[in-house]
Structure 1
Amino acid sequence: MTPDPARHWLSYPVHRGDPEGFRPKPLDEFAADARPALDAGDAFDHRTTRGSRDIVSISVQRAGVIAALLDELALRLRPGVEAGPIQADGELSLLARELADDMYRWASPE
């Protein structure tokens, strides 16, 4: 089955364990799978200052989810990729917004 960019994650399929091999991963399924990973790690561990740069430390789980979202975005932004309107329940958008809001909070001067 070919992934539908309007409904499926493009950066990796999911193995079904049968002769047909892989199936496309729905966008909503990625969001549901990511929530427990985010809950398992701290949002941001701490902020330190070295010289003139602030450094923010995040959990491995949070970094993995952010990396997966960026991989997906990179694929979707390639020339010629057409997704059309996204057909999902909005959980993936909400997840990305929450991660961005956390990062903006930590990136803002105190």
Structure 2
Amino acid sequence: MTDDRVQTEYARLREAAIGVLDAMPEVEGPPERVDAALRNLRSALAGGTSAPLDTARETPDPFEYSLAAKRYAGRRAEPITLPQRAADLRRRLDGDRGPQVRPSDGPSSDVVITELRAMIVAGLLEELAARISPGAAFGPGRDGEALARLAEDLAKELLSQTFVGE
């Protein structure tokens, strides 16, 4: 490798690394800039080309945002962070009545499912909780912890109503 080429590669790597370092202090800022900086550093190290740091991703980061729900502000859909999604769902559940408690203004609107279905749904909730907890599937991020706890709580509630929970 010639000295000029080494200098050019070094300059590219240095710029990519500085981009990562410049983006990291903005913890409260949009994660897209950090993601773009990390992708650029990886690309530079692999010998590829870099993209501009201000590129926004169309899909929200699944390690930080809910993929199944959005919050609407006018006609614009805004992503919801996983901790906020967990808090919203927990708040809604806290306002719910218990199973088999009939509302005073009419018939119960409980949904009845078989034990087998309850156990399968609980198993799926446990799988979801394992996947969004810090670890092999979700990585070191902690944004999914509150949602994982909610899924685990719902799984326990469902299982407690089956022969498994007796």
TM-score class normalised by the smaller sequence: 0.5 to 0.7
Greater RCO (Cα-Cα under 8 Å, separation 6 or more): 1
Identity %: 32
CA distance in 2 between counterparts of 1:95 and 1:37 reads 12
Q: 2:149 is paired with a residue of what secondary structure?
A: helix
Q: 2:160 is paired with a residue of what secondary structure?
A: helix
Partner of 1:6: 63
1:105 aligns with 2:135: no
1:90 aligns with 2:145: yes
1:24 aligns with 2:83: no
Larger Rg: 2
Deviations 1:36-93 (CA, angstroms, capped at 9, x unpaired): 21111134227xxxxxxxxxx46xxxxxxx9xx97xx6xx9xxxxxx85254061111
Q: Is the 8 A contact 1:14 1:25 kept in 2?
A: yes
Task: Give the Å deviation of 1:17.
Answer: 2.9
User: Which 4+ runs in 1 deviate beyond 3 A?
Assistant: none
Tell me which protein shows more helix as a share of its residues.
2
CA distance in 2 between counterparts of 1:94 and 1:84 reads 14
Aligned residues: 79
TM superposition score normalised by structure 2: 0.39
CA distance in 2 between counterparts of 1:105 and 1:2 reads 37
In the superposition, relative to structure 1, how do residues 44 and 24 fare at CA in structure 2: closer, same or farther (>3 Å)?
Answer: same
Name stretches of at least 5 consecutive residues in structure 1 with no aligned partner: 47-56, 59-65, 77-82
Q: 1:107 is paired with a residue of what secondary structure?
A: coil
The farther-off stretch of 84-93 and 1-10 is 84-93
Q: Is the 8 A contact 1:2 1:24 kept in 2?
A: no
Name stretches of at least 5 consecutive residues in structure 2 with no aligned partner: 1-57, 102-109, 112-120, 132-136
The CA RMSD measured in Å over matched residues stands at 3.1
